[in-house]
Amino acid sequence: MPHDHHDHDHPHDHDGLSPSGHPYRADNDAPLSYWQRMEIAVRELMIEKGHLTADQVAAQIDTMDARSPANGAAVVARAWVDPDFRARLLDDAGAASREMGFDIGPLHLIAVENTAQVHNLIVCTLCSCYPRNLLGLPPDWYKTREYRARAVREPRAVLREFGLDLPDSTTIRVHDSTADMRYIVLPARPSGTDGMTEAALAALVTRDSMVGTGLPRQP
Amino acid sequence: MPERVRVKAMMPPGHVRTPAYLRGKTGVIERALGPFPNPEQLAYGLPAPEQPLYRVRFTMSEVWGDAAERPSDTLDAEIYAHWLERL
């Protein structure tokens, strides 16, 4: 009971808890790991030798941080309103994303389409492969051993925990990103969205709906 | 008829991108993806000759047997040609 005062009378620092009753997060002043030292050493050497600058490193981090699920949502909404674009997306999702102006680098992207009969789910059992160059950084749960192991073994149980209870008549297709491809789910367009603008449709597309752990919002 | 393949059931050491849970399992080629440098050499900075890469589709009953939630659900994974034998 973090907020209880028990039998002592000073009003602060009970059991190492903050005034709001939560534990303080430990400072990260443990010794550097081998790979942390290696990263710092290589980065400093590259800068010293003039191969890149600290500004370029910071700019690359900014570029990655600027990528967000909104990019993928724009691609999905375009596919919902433009059948020719949808066909190009399913044929080569990387080329279709670049066509919309997204700088996704060398990403090899495959779009898998949800229909009335099929639901797709993306996982990387070997590590944490994710279409970062389009959607930005993956959510923490995507990288956990639990999600990675269970998504291939009991996808229906996993989806129920995400609030998605699919009927037995729906076929689930799980896609394990084991090698060079990355995946995005093209969710089915929600009903009741006729006449909505592309921008309004994009606002319905959640990150989870593009991983397959969710569905788009209803308008 | 889709082409049937079996994932080789070998267990080599080192960086391998064929998940152990699919080794020895039979599936069908879902699509060919083209040639990619073999990660088993690439991971060590060695010359990495290109290998054809395929998306192989397995049924959940093939992968998990009786433990499958719904036997005809599927699992697709990318497998390099040198890990596949044609049936």
Q: Is there a contact between A174 and B75 if contact means CB atoms under 8 Å apart?
A: yes
Distance CA A17, CA A28 (A): 18
Suggest the residue from A42, A108, A154, A180 to mutate for an interface test with chain B (most B CBs closer than 10 A): A180
Give the domain CATH number at B27.
2.30.30.50
Distance of CA A199 to the CA centre of its chain: 21
ipTM above 0.95, yes or no: yes
Chain A interface, Cβ < 8 Å to B: 108, 125-126, 152-157, 168, 171-181
Looking from the CA of A192 toward its CB, the CA atoms found within 13 Å total 5
- Whole-structure pTM value: 0.89
Per-residue pLDDT band at A14 (split at 50, 70, 90): low
Suggest the residue from A156, A176, A182 to mutate for an interface test with chain B (most B CBs closer than 10 A): A176
Chain A partners of B76 at a C-beta cutoff of 8 Å?
A: 173-176
Mean pLDDT of A149-168: 98
Residue B61 has pLDDT above 90, yes or no: yes
Q: Which residues pair with A121 in a beta bridge?
A: A174
At A176 the pLDDT is: 98
At A24 the pLDDT is: 86
Which tens digit of pLDDT belongs to each residue from B2-24?
A: 799 999 999 999 999 999 999 99
At A17 the pLDDT is: 86
The alpha carbon of residue B87 is apart from the nearest alpha carbon of chain A, in Å, by: 22
**Structural domains in chain A?**
27-65 (no CATH), 67-211 (3.90.330.10)
Find the CB nearest B75 among A126, A152, A181. Answer: A152
Number of domains into which chain B is organized: 1
Q: Is there a contact between A179 and B17 if contact means CB atoms under 8 Å apart?
A: yes
Distance CA A5, CA A126 (A): 48
C-beta neighbour count of B82 within 10 angstroms: 13
At B2 the pLDDT is: 76
Which tens digit of pLDDT belongs to each residue from A61-75?
A: 999 999 999 999 999
* More confidently predicted of B81 and A25: B81
Question: Residue B10's domain spans which residues?
Answer: 4-86
Distance CA A204, CA A192 (A): 12
Find the CB nearest B53 among A175, A177, A179. Answer: A179
Find the CB nearest B33 among A152, A155, A181. Answer: A181
Q: Which residue of B has its CA nearest to A175?
A: B76
Q: Which residues pair with A175 in a beta bridge?
A: A122, B76
Query: Which residue's structure tokens are 């389409």?
Result: A113
Q: What one-letter code names the amino acid at A174?
A: V
β-bridge pairing A118-123 and A171-176: parallel
For the annotated catalytic residues of A, the residue numbers are 124, 127-129
